[in-house]
């Protein structure tokens, strides 16, 4: 194997890069409270393969099935665990974002209400 | 290991523009090693910095592959340029920080005046130096110029390497760097001369 000293750091950074599997894995870890070892076990690979996977594009859109196939063939993985992970992150991650947005909207509504009340309370000139 | 060929870069770029999910990994696998080695050749660039800057360059390309124009340069050259700029920026900010922490007045300790001068002369010398430092600091010179002036101040024989390092010119080819260092050194010496002349007590 060639010298891949950089791989660990590049994979770590991928957790904040939209569109890469690294971000999917990071979200999954947060949702499932699992370690990197557990994540690798679930996908059926070792940690170095997990780091390489993290640098791949996240399968999406119409080419989803084909992209999963390409990734799994390259790393000798069974597609099901990866697909399950992607689906779970899409659903749960999406719900979390919605919840965050909703709470953001609630905060904004509260702030608007407070501002309105303040305006109403202000003495009219 | 040699740097990736133009053809390799072109093939990867074509894959980048398609929906290939593993191409991003292949860009890393193909370019990280050569980029790190190219950056490490610059004196003052550690492995860690080279690694971070190479990674910055690859991520910048992955985010906006459309910014690469294959007619203008190979992908290898394109990424090396980004990585070098990142390294240069990182070097400049770390140099600026280090230089900020150093006071040019330390020249008095680095090059103490001749031991046979009187205490009055010694005090006068120190005061003139202090005034000069104040004028340099108040001249609104860019940080790069201040770094160059510090090298002129603190090194008895201002070497090309330390001047290039201070001015952030280490990324240039040797001959180009030599010319740029000479040009900047002459310019900074003129600036210093002008600032020295502004001292009403300086008769030299």
Residue B157 has what pLDDT? 63
In a domain, A68, yes or no: yes
How much is the average pLDDT of B123-142? 76
SS (H, E, C) B23-68: HHHHHHHHHHHHHHHHHHCCCCCCHHHHHHHHHHHHHHHHHCHHHC
* A122 located within any domain: no
* A80: in domain: yes
**Cβ A48 vs Cβ A7: under 8 Å:** yes
Contact A17/B19, CB-based, under 8 Å?
A: no
What pLDDT score does B10 carry? 94
pLDDT digits (tens, 9 = 90+) for A35-62: 999 999 999 999 999 999 999 999 999 9
Q: Give pLDDT tens digits for B51-64.
A: 999 999 999 999 99
* Position B158 pLDDT exceeds 80: no
DSSP at B123: H
What is the average per-residue pLDDT within A104-117? 44
Q: What pLDDT, on the 0 to 100 scale, is given for residue A106?
A: 46
Is the model more confident about B6 or about A115? Answer: B6
**Chain B residues with beta carbon closer than 8 angstroms to that of A5:** 47, 51
Report d(CA A72, CA A54) in Å as an integer.
13
Nearest chain A residue (CA) to B32: A6
* Cβ-Cβ contacts under 8 Å, B54 against chain A: 6
Asked, for residue A100, whether it belongs to a domain, the answer is: no
Give me the pLDDT at residue B177, please: 84
pLDDT digits (tens, 9 = 90+) for A65-98: 999 999 999 999 999 999 999 999 988 766 555 5
Count how many Cα atoms sit within 13 Å of the Cα of residue B142 in the half-sphere of its side chain. Answer: 9
CB spacing of B51 vs A9 below 8 angstroms: yes
What confidence category does residue B130 fall into, taking pLDDT thresholds of 50, 70 and 90? confident
Which domain, by its residues, includes A81?
A: 7-94
The more confidently predicted of residues B126 and B182 is B182
Task: Please report whether residue A110 resides in a domain.
Answer: no
Q: Tell me the nearest-neighbour CA distance from A55 into chain B, angstroms.
A: 5
ipTM value > 0.90: no
pLDDT for the residue A76: 96
Residue A103 included in any domain: no
Specify whether the CB–CB gap between B188 and B149 falls below 8 A: yes
Pairs across A and B, CB distance < 8 A: 54
Confidence of residue A115 (pLDDT cuts 50, 70, 90): very low
B151's torsion region: left (phi>0), alpha (psi -120 to 50) or beta? alpha
Domain segments of chain B as ranges: 6-98, 104-197
In a domain, A73, yes or no: yes
CB contact under 8 A, A67 and B21: yes
In contact, B34 and B54? CB cutoff 8 Å: no
Beta-carbon separation of A55 and B23 below 8 A: no
Distance CA A34, CA A12 (A): 16
Which residues of A are less than 8 Å from B22 in CB distance? Answer: 56-57, 70-71, 74
Going by CATH, does the domain composed of B6-98 fall within 1.10.8? no
Q: Is residue A105 part of a domain?
A: no
pLDDT of residue B196: 77
* Residues of chain A positioned with their CB less than 8 A from the CB of B12: none
Give the number of domains in chain A.
1
């Amino acid at each position: 194997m060639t010298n891949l000293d950089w791989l660990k750091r590049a994979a770590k950074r991928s957790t904040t890069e939209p569109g890469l599997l690294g971000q999917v894995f990071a979200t999954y870890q947060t949702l499932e409270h699992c370690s990197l070892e557990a994540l690798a076990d679930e996908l059926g690979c070792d940690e170095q393969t997990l780091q390489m996977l993290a640098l791949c594009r996240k399968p999406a859109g119409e080419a989803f099935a084909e992209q999963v196939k390409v990734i799994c063939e390259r790393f000798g993985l069974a597609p099901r665990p990866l697909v399950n992970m992607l689906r779970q992150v899409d659903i749960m991650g999406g719900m979390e974002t919605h919840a965050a947005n909703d709470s953001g909207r609630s905060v904004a509504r509260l702030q608007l209400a407070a501002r309105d009340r303040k305006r109403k309370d202000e003495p009219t000139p | 290991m040699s740097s990736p060929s133009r053809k390799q870069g072109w093939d990867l770029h074509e894959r980048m523009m398609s929906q290939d999910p593993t191409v991003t990994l292949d860009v890393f696998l193909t370019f990280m090693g050569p980029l790190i080695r190219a950056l490490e050749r610059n004196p003052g660039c550690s492995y860690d910095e080279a690694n971070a800057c190479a990674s910055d360059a690859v991520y910048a390309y992955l985010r906006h592959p459309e910014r690469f124009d294959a007619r203008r340069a190979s992908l290898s050259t394109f990424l090396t340029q980004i990585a070098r700029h990142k390294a240069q920026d990182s070097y400049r900010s770390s140099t600026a920080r280090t230089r900020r922490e150093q006071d040019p007045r330390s020249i008095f300790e680095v090059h103490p005046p001749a031991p046979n001068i009187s205490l009055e002369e010694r005090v006068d010398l120190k005061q003139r130096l202090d005034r000069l430092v104040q004028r340099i600091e108040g001249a609104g010179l860019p940080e790069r110029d201040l770094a160059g002036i510090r090298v002129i101040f603190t090194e008895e024989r201002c070497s090309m390497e330390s001047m290039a390092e201070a001015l952030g010119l280490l990324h240039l080819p040797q001959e180009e760097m030599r010319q740029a260092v000479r040009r900047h050194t002459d310019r900074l010496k003129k600036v210093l001369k002008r600032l020295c002349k502004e001292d009403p007590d300086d008769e030299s």
